[in-house]
């Protein structure tokens, strides 16, 4: 009888507990950077918050794609930081993008009134 080395990956099969669904590394980094940016913004550290939130947007874009609604969270936070830093035109563009992402894909038809 051959001995089988048991690894942590074998644990769910042995215990009957389902294995956790793996989250892509860029998604984890995006969530962490979003949380960090939000915390820094709350403390008034807007320059550091902006850097963290821009990283969050890059990571989430890499993980989910540029049109995924999950980008709305870091984009909204980045827009708020831009408002706090007095960059209102940039904030408006970011927040308009959030609205587009949350509206979802259109069906390509618009009703005329």
pLDDT digits (tens, 9 = 90+) for 24-57: 689 999 999 999 999 999 999 999 999 999 999 9
The per-residue pLDDT for range 71-105, each reduced to its tens digit, is: 999 999 999 999 999 999 999 999 999 999 999 87
Contact by Cβ (8 Å): 12, 19? yes
pTM given for the model = 0.73
């Amino acid at each position: 009888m051959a001995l089988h080395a048991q690894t942590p990956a074998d644990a769910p099969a042995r215990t009957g507990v389902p294995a956790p669904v793996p989250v892509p590394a860029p998604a984890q980094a995006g969530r962490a950077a979003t949380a960090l940016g939000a915390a820094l913004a709350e403390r008034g550290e807007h320059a550091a918050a902006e850097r963290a939130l821009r990283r969050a947007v890059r990571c989430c874009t890499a993980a989910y794609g540029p049109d995924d609604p999950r980008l709305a969270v870091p984009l909204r936070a980045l827009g708020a930081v831009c408002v706090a830093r007095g960059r209102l035109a940039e904030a408006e563009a970011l927040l308009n993008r959030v609205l587009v992402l949350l509206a979802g894909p259109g069906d390509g038809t618009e009703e005329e009134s």
